[in-house]
Amino acid sequence: MPTVHLALYDTLADWEFGFVAAGINNPQYQREPGSHRIVTLGVSRAPVRTIGGLTLVPGVTLDDVDPTESAMLVMPGAQSWEDGNVEFVDAARRWADAGVPVAGICGATLGLARSGLLDDRRHTSNAPEQLTPTGYAGADHYVDAPAVTDRGVITAAAVAPVEFAREVFALLDIYEPAVLDAWWRLYGLKDPSGFYALAADR
């Protein structure tokens, strides 16, 4: 079963990965129900504490995982991205070099910039100024959009967890296009017709 690895570190932003985790771990509506799973990934197995005060325990560590055996690395934002998470900066590069998609939202885009992955890809973040201190070479490729995918790298702003999830689902191809469209109408556009379309697909 393809495994999507969800990075965990202290001050993790709870609201930024919920749609991704629920969509991947809940087989309902999937093209092949149960085709993917989320496994939490840490530098160690020590518990981390989210911004919301929840305690999460990594299921595996970076030393346990070969990127070629992963379907995607998902990195949520966290206050610790301002000057930390060096191990996940390196991990993002290793995943991408192995041809495996990487997704980063909010502060995690800082890590992607530091890794060099945004130097030649279209990308976004909370604001272009947030990425400037990294010294990266990709400022000309910045896009003012909630979420962007380019050559296996997804970036998103903190206020766009639904758009982030849509890009992740599309890249993993876990939903039929009509189902993903209905999901987006419901959660992204707040359109009740999306709910009825999903209900009809059961």
Domains of the chain, first to last: 3-175 (3.40.50.880)
Residue-wise DSSP of 26-76: --TT-SSTT--EEEEEESSSS-EE-TTS-EE--SEEGGG--GGG-SEEEE-
Per the annotation, the verdict on 106 as an active-site residue is yes
**In angstroms, rounded to a whole number, what is the distance separating the alpha carbons of residues 92 and 114?**
10
Residues 6+ apart with CB under 8 A from 50: 11, 12, 13, 14, 56
How would you classify residue 29: left for phi > 0, otherwise alpha for psi between -120 and 50, otherwise beta? left
The model's pLDDT over 159-174, given as tens digits with 9 standing for 90+, comes to 999 999 999 999 999 9
The catalytically annotated residue of 4, 43, 62, 106 is 106
For the stretch 44-98, pLDDT in tens is 999 999 999 999 999 999 999 999 999 999 999 999 998 889 999 999 999 999 9
Q: Could you report the per-residue pLDDT of 19-55, keeping only the tens digit for each?
A: 999 999 999 899 999 899 999 999 999 999 999 999 9
pTM: 0.97
